[in-house]
Amino acid sequence: MSQNKSDAPEKRVEKLQIMVADSELSMIDDWRFENRAASRSAAIRSLIYLGLELTKSNPEQVGKLLEQLDRA
């Protein structure tokens, strides 16, 4: 979510709602425990960070993965 920082003081936190299937939530929780994330929210933030970093370092692979996801 983009915010215009010059208009208003920056909000410190934003609550997001996401919808995932039960099986997907299990995958997130498994990742959380394998990687010792402090909470589900922390695990999801880490996964987002990884996704963003991979997009920067390997855009071709990200493109391929997204294409596979759309075609699934």
Partner 1 sequence: MFLPVSASIRQFARAVTADRMVGDELALAVSAEANQKNRNGAPPANRVEWFRRFVLRWREVMAEEASPKPFSNSAFIRSMGPMPSEARLVLLLNDVCGFSAREVQEILEPLSQPYEELLTEGRSLVRSDRGERSALIVEDEPLIAADLRDVLEDMGVIVVGMARTAEQGARQALKNSPDIVLADYNLDGQKTGVDAVAAFHDAHHCPVIFITGYPDEVLKGDEVEPDFVIVKPYRPEAVQAAVAHCLDAARYAAIDADAKTGAL
Catalog residues that contact partner 1 under the rule CB under 8 A. Answer: 15-24, 27, 40-41, 44, 68-72
Of 8 and 16, which CB lies nearer to partner 1 in the complex structure? Answer: 16
What is the identity of the amino acid at 60? E
> Per the structure block, which two tokens stand in for 50?
């990884």
Largest CA distance in the chain: 42
CB of 68 to partner 1, least distance (A): 7
Write down the least CB distance from residue 66 to partner 1, Å: 10
**Residue nearer to partner 1 on the CB measure, 23 or 57:** 23
- In this structure, which amino acid lies at residue 29? D
End-to-end C-alpha distance for the chain, whole angstroms = 27
